Amino acid sequence: MSITLTILSLLFCCFVGYSVGSHLAWHISFMSWLKDFVTPKIKAIIGGTSNDEAVSWTKCPSCEKLIYNAELAENYMVCNNCNHHFQISGKARFALVFDDQKYTEIPTVKIKDDPIKFRDTKKYHDRLKEARQATGDQDAILVACGNIGNLPAVVFSMNFAFMGGSMGLAVGKTISLAAETAIKNRAALIGFTASGGARMQEGMFSLMQMPATIASICTLKEYGLPYINVFTHPTTGGVLASFAMLGDIHISEPNALIGFAGARVIEKTIKHKLPDGFQRSEFLKDHGMIDMIVSRGNIPEILRGVLDYTIGGLYH
Ligand SMILES: [Zn+2]
């Protein structure tokens, strides 16, 4: 009896194995036929190409709509469905705001890496190396000078992709260099901020950049030159609590998070529920901290007007 059962079980297993195997083989051949034959035919009919880059899409994190990459780039990396502003690089900002996309980059101030030999789950040295490889930048800021509406401007742009746009020695000293360059060129200084705050891996050296950058902006103002801060998502912590709040004019991209401490920390401290939209640019404009909210595509035009109003008299 047991021999009969064993033979029957073996036969059953062979049958199941065969049918699963043959089904799998059929599925694989169907998928490769679909990929190799049908998809190129469909692409040819609808005018697509076989180039992966040309058919790539990005999902908007806000409304979840799939946006064609070329369309996104054409719209200054802003979702055309919900107006979500994607983060962009410093070079993309410079190309957007300077006349005829012409500008000269000023090298970021170089300092000795890792001044306090910091290590958490990773060595600070390794974090810097990774961020440099990922962004192609030396640190979380780029500076350039050129003309906006035929008037001289020095523009710096912080890069959130580089260690959360955190401010250490290199960022702080580069902001001071940007202010000095603006004084030398009798130019307006414009900052695009995006930062999680001070860079904890540099300890006290990063906190010292708060008064240092404030002093540089104040010196610029003593020369009668304007500082315009453009808040982008997010601008928080020690960057907000120092130079970012010293703009003569505060412009913000829509729906940017702008605040010193996180909303949850504040709620726990004051034991009160915070209002809707707290720390977003629209809320801050209603309460007088932001002068205007401008969509990315309109920022060059607004800056031309602001520069004409503030330093136009020095040149016309
Ligand atoms: Zn969207």
Residue 50 is assigned to a structural domain of this protein? no
Residue 99 forms part of a structural domain: yes
Task: Answer yes or no: do 67 and 199 share one domain.
Answer: no
Distance 213 CA to ligand 1 centre (A): 35
Say if residue 68 is in the same domain as residue 175.
no
pLDDT at 33: 52
Q: How far is the CA of 65 from the centre of ligand 1 (A)?
A: 6
Tens-level pLDDT at each residue, the chain (316 residues): 445 544 545 444 444 444 444 454 455 455 555 445 554 444 544 444 445 555 699 999 999 999 999 999 999 999 999 999 999 999 999 999 999 999 999 999 999 999 999 999 999 999 999 999 999 999 999 999 999 999 999 999 999 999 999 999 999 999 999 999 999 999 999 999 999 999 999 999 999 999 999 999 999 999 999 999 999 999 999 999 999 999 999 999 999 999 999 999 999 999 999 999 999 999 999 999 999 999 999 999 999 999 999 999 999 8
Asked if 303 and 273 sit in the same domain, the reply is yes
In a domain, 181, yes or no: yes
Range of the domain at 79: 56-86
Domain co-membership, 219 together with 109: yes
pLDDT in the model for residue 54: 53
Number of CB atoms found within 10 A of residue 44's CB: 11
Q: In terms of C-beta density within 10 A (0-12 exposed, 13-18 middle, 19 or more buried), how is residue 27 classed?
A: exposed
DSSP3 helix / strand / coil % (the chain, rounded to 5): 50, 20, 30
Residue 65 lies in a domain: yes
Is 194 contained in some domain? Answer: yes
Report every protein residue that has its C-beta within 5 angstroms of ion ligand 1. Answer: 60, 62-63, 79, 81-82, 84
Q: What is the model's pLDDT at position 52?
A: 53
Measured CA distances, 175 to 71, 138, 223, 238 (Å): 33, 14, 17, 14
Contact 254, 286 (CB under 8 A): no
21 occurs within a structural domain: yes
Question: Do 16 and 141 fall within a single domain?
Answer: no
- Give pLDDT, residue 316: 85
Residue 270 is predicted with a pLDDT of: 95
Q: Tell me which H or E stretch contains 223.
A: none
pLDDT of residue 5: 47
Count Cβ atoms below 10 Å from residue 266 Cβ, excluding itself. Answer: 15
Q: How far apart are the first and last CA of the chain?
A: 108
CA of 62 to the centre of ligand 1 (A): 5
Residue 51 lies in a domain: no
Distance of CA 198 from the midpoint of ligand 1 (Å): 30
18 plus 133 within the same structural domain: no
Q: Identify whether residues 147 and 262 lie together within a single domain.
A: yes
Does one domain contain both 14 and 146?
no
Give distance in angstroms: CA of 231 to centre of ligand 1: 20
Distance 307 CA to ligand 1 centre (A): 32
Token match 């801060």: residue? 229
Instruction: Give residue 256 CA to ligand 1 midpoint distance, Å.
Output: 15
**CA distance linking residue 162 with residue 168, whole number of Å:** 12
Residue 275 sits in the same domain as residue 142: yes
CA of 56 to the centre of ligand 1 (A): 16
Statement to judge: residues 119 and 243 lie in one domain: yes
Quick one: 82 and 100 in the same domain?
A: no
CA–CA dist 223, 217 (Å, integer): 10
pLDDT value for 48: 44
- Residue 313: count other Cβ atoms within 10 Å of its Cβ: 8
Write down the pTM of the prediction: 0.83
User: Ligand 1 center to residue 89 CA distance, Å?
Assistant: 19
Specify the number of domains making up the chain. Answer: 3
Q: Residue 232 Cα, ligand 1 centroid: separation in angstroms?
A: 17
The CATH number of residue 235's host domain is 3.90.226.10
| CA 180 – ligand 1 centroid, Å | 39
Whole-number Å distance, alpha carbon 47 to ligand 1 midpoint, is: 26
Spacing, Cα 59 to ligand 1 middle (Å)? 8
Is position 185 within any domain? Answer: yes
Three-state SS at 241: coil
Q: Which amino acid is at 206?
A: S
Q: Does 19 share its domain with 120?
A: no
Q: Distance (Å, rounded) from C-alpha 220 to C-alpha 300?
A: 22
